[in-house]
Amino acid sequence: MGMHRIRNLSRGGWLAIGIVLALVLAPSAAIATAAGVTEITGPGGQRAAVTDAGQLDVTQTTAGNYEVRDGSEDTTLTTPACLSFPAISATTGFVIKEITVSVFSDPSPGTSSLGLYEGPNCNLAQVINTLSPASLGMTVLPIDPGLAIPEGGTFSFAVQDMGAFVTLYGYKVPSSEISGYTPNH
């Protein structure tokens, strides 16, 4: 007898039932949608974290992947002397985030020069930057988003009529993430 009444409901009755169901179900659907989680997983299986404000919480890498490389070159010659760093890593890529240049001898401030290069042997086709320091001291070159050094790759710098200590700050990345040196730096 109860089923018979439901089947014979007027159009207005069905409309009222629909409105009541919408009022009951819509808030729970909205809550389910708002609580839905979009998950981002990296190539190594690591999961992205999300803050309480719904923002992606990121870091470039873990502390264990940060590295520092350095070397110095000193010449009083007007012909540049080049220093090539050893290969940064035979198994991973490397991203340089900052380069510091500490000039410790400069007989002619403002006329001496220093060149920074991706790759070995101070290749002019791979110049990153050149400096002509006005005095002794440190110059910090932040690099954003970074310079890519591929697996087995290196870095070099040349000095002319000065002495400088160059330090690279960066982090290792899987070799699959860097296919070559940064193009068009």
3-state SS string over 102-170?
EEEECCCCCCCEEEEEECCCCCHHHEEEEECCCCCEEEEEEEEEEEEECCCCCEEEEEECEEEEEEEEE
Q: Decide: helix, strand or coil at residue 178.
A: coil
C-alpha 69/C-alpha 88 separation (Å) is: 8
Could you read off the pLDDT of 98-123 as tens digits, one per residue?
Answer: 999 999 999 888 888 899 999 999 99
Could you read off the pLDDT of 30-45 as tens digits, one per residue?
Answer: 554 454 555 666 666 6
C-alpha 73/C-alpha 57 separation (Å) is: 41
* H or E segment and range at residue 94: strand 92-105
CA nearest neighbour of 101 among 85, 87, 114: 114
Please tell me the predicted confidence (pLDDT) of residue 5.
64
The pTM of the full predicted model, rounded to 2 decimals, is 0.65
